[in-house]
Amino acid sequence: MGIFPEIPVAEWITAATEGIQEGLKPIFTFIREDFGNFIEVFAEDWLMNVPIWLFIVIIAVLAFFASGKKLGLVAFTVIGLWFVANQGLWEELMNTFTLVIFASLISVIIGVPFGIWMAKSKPVENILTPVLDFMQTMPAFVYLIPAVAFFGIGMVPGVFASVIFATPPTVRFTNLGIRQVSGELIEASDAFGTTGAQKLFKVQLPMAKKTIMAGINQTVMLALSMVVIASMIGAKGLGQTVITALQRAQVGPGFVAGFGIVILAIIIDRFTQNLNTQRGDNP
């Protein structure tokens, strides 16, 4: 016992969570059921109905153009995806890909506007900076608690937890990119009588594109890093295979599933980096 009485922080957080649960129950139900069904349809009825060979060909063609018509990324993509299919983990790969795609898209949709807002307002930046610090430093496992409380178990809470963990880089890099735009360019655009929207979309965002893309790359990687953690609350995919192997002390299956995650991570990372390089070189 300390000198002062214990502050009931845990009780306050529990009460606030229960209040949010009750007050926003219709919204959470809609997200859990409708959005959850859409994710399942995307993964099971769309991606998994594409023949494996056709999916690999499509990704290889995209890799060819994304890499500037270099064959290194193409070869790695074809061999890597073939290996995952050969190991009987194609369905798990598609579920993991689905989680990463949705979590990344939502993170970017949220992150870019907030990054612009931070760049336009110093008070907003002062408020959001500690919030982003909190989001990035809080252990990722903690995000599973409100995710389960609000959405139950399954893919939706996995996406929710991944979004919280993965959004900060996009916000920070968008803010940084816009703030780094040359003052001379801003003055020139003002001299031509551009509106605020014109200055943002025709000057600031194009000039900050390379920095913003770097933030999006980090967001995608962080979303992918949540795959195994999200599987602990029912998110399907390679992470679930890793957790199962861990529980059963099966080194081989766990390593193969983990290697599948590495393959997907490298492919996505190279895609986004090459796109960023091309856009940065050709503004």
Residue 60 in domain: no
Residue 227 in domain: yes
| CA separation for the pair 232, 153 (Å, rounded) | 9
- Give the residue with greater pLDDT, 163 vs 275: 163
Contacts of 2 by beta carbon, 8 Å cutoff, 6+ apart = none
**Residue 175: domain span:** 9-49+87-281
Residue 82 in domain: no
pTM value is: 0.85
| CATH number of the structural domain spanning residue 254 | 1.10.3720.10
Confidence of residue 277 (pLDDT cuts 50, 70, 90): low
Residue 272 in domain: yes
Residue 169 in domain: yes
pLDDT at 268: 87
Segment 200-225, tens digit of pLDDT: 888 888 888 889 998 998 999 888 88
Residue 194 in domain: yes
Residue 73 in domain: no
Confidence of residue 188 (pLDDT cuts 50, 70, 90): confident
Q: Is the dihedral of CA 233, 133, 223, 116 positive or negative?
A: positive
Number of structural domains in the chain: 1
Given a contact cutoff of 8 angstroms between Cβ atoms, the answer to whether 256 and 244 are in contact is no
Segment 118-135, tens digit of pLDDT: 988 889 999 999 999 988
How would DSSP label each residue in 141-166? Answer: GGGHHHHHHHH-SSHHHHHHHHHHHH
Residue 179 in domain: yes
Angle at which helices 52-66 and 251-281 pack, to 10 degrees?
Answer: 40
pLDDT at 44: 73
Percent residues over pLDDT 90 in the chain: 18
Q: What is the mean pLDDT of the chain?
A: 85
Segment 13-70, tens digit of pLDDT: 888 888 888 888 888 888 888 887 888 778 777 888 889 899 999 989 988 887 777 7
Segment 249-261, tens digit of pLDDT: 888 888 998 899 9
| CA separation for the pair 231, 88 (Å, rounded) | 18
